[in-house]
Amino acid sequence: METSRINDPRTSPGRPAAGCDVVTVPARQGLEAVDILRRGPGDAVGPVLHDDGGDTLGFLVPPGTAAAWDVPGSTCTETGGRGLPLAPEPPGAGSDWLLPPGEADLATDPAVLREALGEAARMIKAADSCR
């Protein structure tokens, strides 16, 4: 798999802003990716949202990520600075923080997230094939 870094001149890599983009993935893959990122060096995972139904996780990534996001099984939404305050309260009804701002101050690097999601998908596929 080939990955690339997103370079957006509007924000320094990894720094969240009110306009962070959000990568949404199925909860199972997202939880695996969070574990992978937390085992990595440094602060590899930023704030992460989950929906109350437990179906999806949303990783905050730097603004501009949505323009080049192409990972199958996930979506990346550009917020344009609307509706995603980085506050302890969740940004909308029906969601809550898995990793709230403050515990995870930096937005997740899109290239690192892409790799973790790929590894998580491979782990899930391997686990499911053993059944």
* 101 vs 25, residue with greater confidence: 25
The pTM of the whole model exceeds 0.85: no
Give me the pLDDT at residue 12, please.
39
Give me the pLDDT at residue 54, please.
79
94: left (phi over 0), alpha (psi -120 to 50) or beta: left
Q: What pLDDT digit, counting tens, does each position of 88-125 carry?
A: 555 566 788 899 887 665 799 999 999 999 999 999 99
Gap between the Cα atoms of 31 and 103, Å rounded? 17
Q: Strands across the sheet with 95-99, in order?
A: 75-77, 21-26, 56-61, 48-51, 95-99
In the three-class reduction of DSSP (H, G, I as helix; E, B as strand; rest coil), residue 16 is classed as coil
Q: List strand residue ranges (DSSP E) for the chain, in order.
A: 21-26, 48-51, 56-61, 75-77, 95-99
Gap between the Cα atoms of 119 and 109, Å rounded? 15
Q: What share of the chain is helix, strand, coil (3-state, %, to 5)?
A: 30, 20, 55
